């Protein structure tokens, strides 16, 4: 019996301080961990990126990650991401993320997690 070729597993990253996100292949709990996670995947296609706005702790938020993504797009090297899902309970923060990333041509959807 031959081994069937396996499909590559989708890369689904989450940056959220509380939610378990069981479908994610990797999760970061702070903005610093989120930046590191994105940098580790810099040269790979990310199928889905799930972002929460408020990351708890010392008033941490997703904004440093958003800034990294904006700067990458400004430099002509945006992260290769299929869809960014923003699932924050903070409506103003979520709208800020959606608006910021949409401006740089990332495919962004506001959703519930």
- Name the strands in the sheet holding 12-15, side by side, starting at the edge strand that comes first in the sequence: 26-28, 12-15, 46-51, 81-86, 108-110
The H or E element containing residue 71 is helix 63-74
**Domains of the chain and any CATH numbers:** 12-110 (3.40.50.2300)
How much of the chain, in percent, has pLDDT values that exceed 70? 93
| Structure confidence at residue 32 (pLDDT) | 97
More confident residue, 68 or 9: 68
pLDDT in tens, 72-111: 999 999 999 999 999 999 999 999 999 999 999 999 999 9
Q: How confident is the model at residue 113 (pLDDT cuts 50, 70, 90)?
A: low
As a whole number, the mean pLDDT across the chain is 93
CA 39 – CA 64 distance, rounded (Å): 13
């Amino acid at each position: 019996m031959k081994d069937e070729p396996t499909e590559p597993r989708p890369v689904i990253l989450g940056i959220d301080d509380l939610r378990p996100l069981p479908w994610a292949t990797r999760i970061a709990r702070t903005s610093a961990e989120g930046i590191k996670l994105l940098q580790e995947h810099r040269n790979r296609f990310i199928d889905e990126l799930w972002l929460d706005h408020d990351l708890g702790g010392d008033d941490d938020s997703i904004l440093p990650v958003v800034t990294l993504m904006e700067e990458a797009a400004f430099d002509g090297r945006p992260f290769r991401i299929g869809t960014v899902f923003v699932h924050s309970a903070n409506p103003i923060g979520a709208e800020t993320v959606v608006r910021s990333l949409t401006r740089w041509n990332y495919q962004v959807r506001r959703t519930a997690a």
